[in-house]
Every structure is written in C-alpha cells, then in structure tokens.
Amino acid sequence: MALIGLVRVSTDKQNVDRQHDALDPICVKVFEEKVSGKLAVDERPGLSAALDYLRDGDMLTVQEVDRLGRDTLTGLVTLAELFERNISVKVLEGVGAGEHTEMNLLLELSLVLASERRRDIVKKTKDGLAAARSRGRIGGRRPVMTEALTIQAAALRDRGFTIRQIQPHLRIAEGKNKGKNPSVGAISQALRGYDETKEGVK
C-alpha cells in the first residue's frame, strides 16, 4: 500500500507549504491543485491526476478532509465517488483524522465543521470590506478574469469546451500573474457570474 497525497488551495496566492510539510515525508507522490473545492472531481486536475495514479490498495491522503471539498455537500459527493471506486482515504488532522474506506459520522461531522468555519471566515471578510467601504476605502483583489477573458471563456464553452479545455486558451494580461493561465476555479466563478448577469437581463 502506498500513500498518495493531495494538496489543494482555492487560488494561486494561497500558500501550500503547510500541506506539503505534512504530506511530502509520508507520501510516495503528492499532487497539487489550485482550484475551488466546489468543482466536480473531473474538473479538478490535481485530484483527477491522483486518481489516475492510484493503484489497487493505495490510499489517497490529505492533511484535512476539507481539502477534498470546500463545503459539506461537495465533500460528501467527492468522498462517495472515491469510495465507490474502492479508493480509501487517509486524513491526517482534524475531527476526521484516520483511515477510511466508507462514509462515516466522523467524516460527515468534520466536513460540517469545516464548512461552518469557512462561512465564518467569509462573513468576517465581507464585514471587513463593508466597514472599509463605509470609510471610503475599497478592499479586495482585482479579479483575474477580466470582462474580455470571461467573454472569451463563454464563447469557448458555447462551442463545447470544458473548463479544463478552456484554461490553456486564456492568458492573464496584467498584474503579478501576467502571461499565466487563470485557474480553473477563477474561470468557473467568472462564468457563473456571467450566466447570472445574462439571466438578470432577460
């Protein structure tokens, strides 16, 4: 049995060192992805690559269970799919720590707690931005997906491209990541916003 690691953060600017520090010493190979944990398994390049690499008896290993899914529902769906493929999961830290071959109460509880923790962080961030705006300061990062990139992504999607197929065709035009491809998560989020805007116009 070999431990195969998965490191996930949602954006390019988030640090992955803590996860690598936990996984690199014990895993024969560690896959990394910088995408939203809300995406389906087949839209997550790191997780998909890890699944292709895993052999019978190997164990997918994460530092905490929420690396498999950003919210409770996504995490449960991802775990259910892994267990259906007879892939066991090892969680190093948190309420769900341990080795798992099927869904259980500890895993469900750990996903619920992680989702609640994230909601609390999001709320505090929004409150902080609102307070800054009330004082005349504008917070938050400039979005990577500009209007032009979003329109290009939507056009490719309308031609039948998946988000992972769209990604290589897009290039960030300015800023620290100039010349790089936007993350799958950024493209997905931009397209959701684009669709919501179109719905509002109808």
The model's pLDDT over 92-119, given as tens digits with 9 standing for 90+, comes to 998 788 999 988 887 777 777 766 665 6
Helices (H), the chain: 17-23, 45-53, 72-84, 105-134, 147-158, 163-166, 184-201
> Of 48-62, 76-90, 184-198, which has the strongest mean pLDDT?
48-62
Q: Which residues pair with 91 in a beta bridge?
A: 62, 98
Q: Which residue in 24, 9, 86 sits closest to 61, CA to CA?
A: 24
The model's pLDDT over 126-183, given as tens digits with 9 standing for 90+, comes to 666 666 566 655 455 567 888 888 989 998 998 899 999 999 999 888 778 888 899 9
The CA distance from 40 to 25, in Å, is 28
* pTM of the predicted model as reported, rounded to 2 decimal places: 0.57
Which two three-digit tokens encode residue 57?
């008896």
Which residues belong to the active site? 10
